[in-house]
Structure 1
Amino acid sequence: MLGALRTVRAAVRSLRIYYGDKARTAAMDRLYGDFVRPGDLVFDVGAHVGDRVASFRRLGARVVAVEPQPAMVRVLKLLYGRSRSVSIEAVAVGREPGTAPMTINTDNPTVSSISAAFIAAARDAPGWTSQRWTASVNVPVTTLDALIAKHGAPTFIKLDVEGFEAEALHGLSRAVRALSFEFTTIQREVGLACITRCSALGYDRFNAALGESQAFVGAWMSAADVSRWLLDLPQEANSGDIYAVTD
């Protein structure tokens, strides 16, 4: 019972944070508006409580919301289960299909992860010491290729899976027009591996947004330049998203 109450409290907190800031919402729409047009298909991988789903819908897109955490899937179904423009996939995304244990942060489910390396890196890192992963659940795993086979090729993929981004990108065999992936300064090697994978897929221009700023840091960069930018970031920058496009 206590665990269930903590999960509900965490979900309410996430809803307040991610849906309650009008300025952030407007900035998000402006950022994603560079990639998404009415009628486009978008994959939101690691949808959490669906604030990006909301943005993609406001831009007129159809959305596949991918989220393996049972509690967050319930929230997504509550918010979007009746929407004809949203399909909810209660799965994780990785290199190959199967099942995997997911370690749950009950008080902050946005940092729950399949990646044991991510949790090990976070446990004693500055800025992360208050986080606790206290539960585990086995979740089904699919691939981006399998999702494309089922739903069609998206115009844009948003990937935020707490240290499992490079594994997820290895389940994509062909580039879509644009994608983003989360990086953290506690696991820069994962971000670098994602850049390398994107380059192998044919992505040649990159940009980034720090934290929840919803704003690019500057001009578009090459793979080498964005890699140097990531390596030069101060540790306290903590996290953000790198965007990749191909012409």
Structure 2
Amino acid sequence: MIADLIYDVGLHKGEDAAFYLKKGFKVLGIEANPELVRHCQGRFHTEVASGQLRIIEGAIAPESEGPTITFYKSSDSVLGTINKDRAARTEKLGHRSERIVLPRIDVVDIYRSCGVPYFLKIDVEGADQLVLEGLKQQPNRPQYISVESDKVDFGEIKAQLGLLRELGYRKFKAVQQQRIPGSRVETKALDGAKVAHVFEAGASGPFGEDLGGPWLDFDGIIDRYRSIFRDYRYFGDDSLLARFPVLALPFKAVYKLCTGQRGSLPGWYDTHASL
């Protein structure tokens, strides 16, 4: 493991990389969308020039796909994916997709050539599991991992958590993402200097010991996601209330009062894991 390296897998517009760079880490960003790659090359031209940030362009996909892969570039840039079914699902929500062909990235090759990072942030719609699976072939593990959790299939959540446990992770948190934009963290850079940061829209927030709240064991995180999926069932994209938004606000208020629920409903979550 390389103690001063972070992988930002799903670089997007650099919302997270900005925080990692401010903390003094070297960052390897992986991004499929060519427009977002150009954006980040401009935004971070100084860090790219110095070598603090390296950007790899292409889409992570299975070796069986060959040297290139079809990528569904969404009108909502956070929803771009190699997964045809996921693209169809987002189109039903009003986000059109454009098919483009990109070079395929083998994440195992990246681990071997660049090393295993201290922190691995994964947010690549439909390919998160591939990034985790690639760690099986490495002798070391990142100290911390964050990965976007599914909102539709509880079975996928259990499979993802099971893989994390298989990889050696024993501590977990489910972190609500809807309230990250505009939130502030005060932490330290690698050199010990104080760092204050306000997270911009699209950022996934702090990681590691900068996260609030207790770590949960495997059974605890499974129970936590059961309650989260209850919220998805009542308030999520496919819920009855989503079809009748005029009813959502009063129902949410009553639900919070009766259950003690705090924060956004239903929002969406990242799973954080620690060795």
State TM-score, norm by structure 1: 0.74
Instruction: Quote how far apart the aligned CAs of 1:152 are.
Output: 2.0
- Structure 1, unaligned runs of 5 or more: 1-36
Which of 90, 102, 115 is 1:139 aligned to? 102
Of 46-55 and 222-231, more deviation after overlay is shown by 222-231
Q: Find out whether 1:226 has 2:221 as its counterpart.
A: yes
Counterpart in the other structure of 2:241: none
**1:60–1:203 CA distance, 2 compared to 1 (3 A):** same
Which of 127, 141, 157 is 1:164 aligned to? 127
Residue 43 of structure 1: SS of its match in structure 2? strand
Q: Could you tell me which amino acid in structure 2 is paired with residue 153 of structure 1?
A: V
Contact 1:47 1:53 in 2 (8 A): yes
Counterpart in the other structure of 2:42: 78
Q: Find out whether 1:91 has 2:55 as its counterpart.
A: no
Contact 1:159 1:181 in 2 (8 A): yes
Instruction: Quote how far apart the aligned CAs of 1:238 are.
Output: 4.2
* Pairs within 5 Å for 1:89-128: 89-96=56-63, 98-106=67-75, 108-124=76-92
Instruction: Quote how far apart the aligned CAs of 1:60 are.
Output: 0.6
Of 92-101 and 237-246, more deviation after overlay is shown by 92-101
Counterpart in the other structure of 1:15: none
Counterpart in the other structure of 1:51: 15
Distance 1:193 1:143 in 2: 22
- Structure 2, unaligned runs of 5 or more: 181-204, 237-265
Distance 2:10 2:110 in 1: 14
Distance 1:188 1:92 in 2: 25
* Pairs within 5 Å for 1:21-36: none
Instruction: Quote how far apart the aligned CAs of 1:195 are.
Output: 1.1
Which of 191, 200, 208 is 2:157 aligned to? 191
> CA deviation digits over 1:26-59, x for unaligned, max 9?
xxxxxxxxxxx9x710000001000111000011
> CA deviation digits over 1:186-239, x for unaligned, max 9?
244433322111111111111121124347574211223212322321113242
Instruction: Quote how far apart the aligned CAs of 1:162 are.
Output: 1.5
* Count of aligned pairs: 203
Which of 58, 65, 69 is 2:33 aligned to? 69
Distance 2:38 2:9 in 1: 16
Q: Could you tell me which amino acid in structure 1 is paired with residue 32 of structure 2?
A: P
Q: Which has the larger radius of gyration?
A: 2
Divergent runs of 4+, >4 A: none
Instruction: Quote how far apart the aligned CAs of 1:95 are.
Output: 4.4
Residue 272 of structure 2: SS of its match in structure 1? strand
Instruction: Quote how far apart the aligned CAs of 1:122 are.
Output: 3.7
Name the % identity. 22
